[in-house]
Structure 1
Amino acid sequence: MRLLIIEDNKDLSFELTDYLESQGDIVDTAADGITGLHLAVVNPYEAIVLDLTLPGIDGLELCRRLRQDAGNWVPILMLTARDTLADRIDGFEQGADDYMVKPFSLKELKLRLNALVRRHSGVHQHAMLRVADLELQPDTREVRRGGMPIELTAIEFQILELLMRKSPSVVTRPNLEYAVWGDTPPDGEALRVHIHHLRQAIDKSFTPPLLHTIRGVGYQLKADNALPS
């Protein structure tokens, strides 16, 4: 799994990272709420471990912004010393999927993350994706725009699915390359070529354009004529 840990306690963050990586997970970390929110929005994580007491913005506000402003429903496990029922209710009301109180068992945390990812995959990964009049069905791998079928290669489909899941957020080039090719992406022109073919397929015969290049950053799928394309 690719995970994000947002925790300002350096010792605990290191302990979590060390354990989860020993279990085969890929882990990014953030020590404050603003950095954590940025990483959560631009990267395709499978789950987030989120402390409540953070510098910048706290965990509750981060969770609210991620859910309500970014429309991101990645599973979130809140990890905190706050153990009252009111604290738990606040966490769940802001969009948390699970809640663990410090101190905790690393093994239990890992099992809970596995369960969250399994449930999220069953609920969200197979639902129809829509951006404007563009539709993608993960189960049947069908893509339509304006009701017209669109044929894509496997890599083009994978790129489009990620952009649609993240829409309207910008997905960086490194994150797209990682999602498609893992740690061994081909030369730097490969992604550009696939994006060109994808744009021809979904935008050439339709208006408005949906696939936008954000220069120096990455790509965005959004119905907005004002954005550069």
Structure 2
Amino acid sequence: MQSLSSPPVPAGQILLLEDDPAIAQTVCFVLEREGYRVRSCGWLHEARAALSAAPPDLAILDVGLPDGNGLDLCRELRQGPQARLPLLMLSARSEEGDKVLGLELGADDYLAKPFSNRELVARVRALLRRAQASAEPASPAVAGFSVEAEGSRVRFHGELLPLTRRELGLLLRLLQSPGRIHSRDSLLDAVWGLDADSGDRTVDTHIKTLRAKLRQVRPELDPIRTHRGMGYSLE
């Protein structure tokens, strides 16, 4: 069977929480064929133990489980020390309300069953690339900014910024290449991934709130520059 070709991304450890043996076997086969290491669990308590023993690079969580709900684990992870772990929800529930709930609880992406192997691999690759990019340190040339706790917090002139997850993702992306103009589409892809419910206005709105929080620290500064018709850069 031919491998799903795509730009390379470093192989990582993936935790799969799926109680259907047939689906779990297929997902493991597809991802391992692409070079990933997969640990499969069929129960919620097994997944909790696995996460505690060896934190993965990404987790794929089924919603309906014999001993609970994958959304509960999603909520727990976002409130704990693994708050930045990339999470892909995998569920037979394709209704909009279930997807919105998963994303609001902190899931990075949502894939409804049945799904294609190609789409699964594409979403996993996208999430891992975004996580890898977010973990990269900011350039020392960006005056006033410091990134802490492996990219989970940013200080501006010594003040800890109270950022939402999306605002943090945008700022980290801009910090990686100061002076470079990032288009709205590239920022949307890097921070929101394959979430089709988001658009250009979403990026603009989050940039606006991010700017407001920076001005609360230093009102005289506006390090985020708007390039009309092109995007944003950090100066």
Sort the TM-score into its range (normalised by shorter chain). Answer: 0.5 to 0.7
Please list the CA deviations of residues 116-158 of structure 1 after superposition, one character each: whole Å capped at 9, or x if unmatched: 111111123437444xxxxx89xxxxxxxxxxxxxxxxxxxxx
Pair 1:33 & 2:66 matched: no
Question: Is 2:84 the partner of 1:98?
Answer: no
Give the Cα–Cα distance (whole angstroms) in 1 for the partners of residues 33 and 80 of structure 2.
34
Instruction: Quote the offset at 1:88 in angstroms.
Output: 0.6
- Unpaired runs of 5+ residues, structure 2, are 1-11, 139-146, 152-235
Q: What is the CA-CA distance between 1:76 and the residue it aligns to? A: 0.8
Tell me the distance in 2 between the aligned counterparts of 1:102 and 1:28. 20
Number of positions where the alignment pairs a residue of Structure 1 with one of Structure 2: 132
Deviation at 1:47, TM superposition (A): 1.1
Query: Which residues of structure 1 form unaligned runs of 5+?
Result: 131-135, 138-229
Structure 2 CA distance for partners of 1:55 and 1:70, relative to 1, 3 Å: farther
Q: RMSD in angstroms over aligned alpha carbons?
A: 1.9
Letter paired with 1:29: S
Question: Helix, strand or coil for the counterpart of 2:68?
Answer: coil
How far residue 46 of structure 1 moved from its aligned partner, in angstroms, is 1.5
Deviates more, 1:51-60 or 1:96-105: 51-60
Q: Which amino acid aligns with 2:60?
A: V
Matching residue's letter, 1:99:
Y
CA gap 1:41/1:124 in 2 versus in 1, 3 angstroms: farther
The structure 2 residue matched to 1:75, chosen from 71, 83, 86, is 86
Secondary structure of the equivalent of 1:3?
Answer: strand
Q: What is the rounded CA distance, in whole Å, between the counterparts of 2:49 and 2:136 in structure 1?
A: 22
Q: Deviations over 1:74-110 (max 9, x none)?
A: 1111110111111011101111000011000011101
Task: Detail structure 1 runs of 4+ shifted over 4 Å in the superposition.
Answer: none
Three-state SS of the structure 2 residue aligned to 1:34 is: helix
SS at the partner of 2:25? helix
How far 1:13 moved relative to its partner?
Answer: 0.4
Whole-Å Cα distance in 2 between the matches of residues 107 and 69 of structure 1?
A: 31
- Give me the TM-score of the superposition, normalised by structure 2: 0.52
Residues 40-73 of structure 1: per-residue CA shift (max 9 Å, x gap): 2332311111100012231000100111134432
- Check if 1:87 corresponds to 2:76: no
Q: TM-score, normalised by structure 1?
A: 0.54
Q: Which residue of 2 aligns with 1:54?
A: 65
Give the match's secondary structure for 2:137: coil
1:14 is matched with which residue? 25
Change in Cα spacing, 1:125 to 1:43, as seen in structure 2 (3 Å) is farther
Letter of the 1:109 counterpart: L
Q: Distance in 2 between matches of 1:114 and 1:46?
A: 11
2:13 & 2:89 partners in 1: Cα distance?
17
Which residues in structure 2 correspond to 1:1-229 (within 5 Å)?
1-126=12-137, 128-130=147-149
CA contact (8 A) 1:41 1:72 kept: no
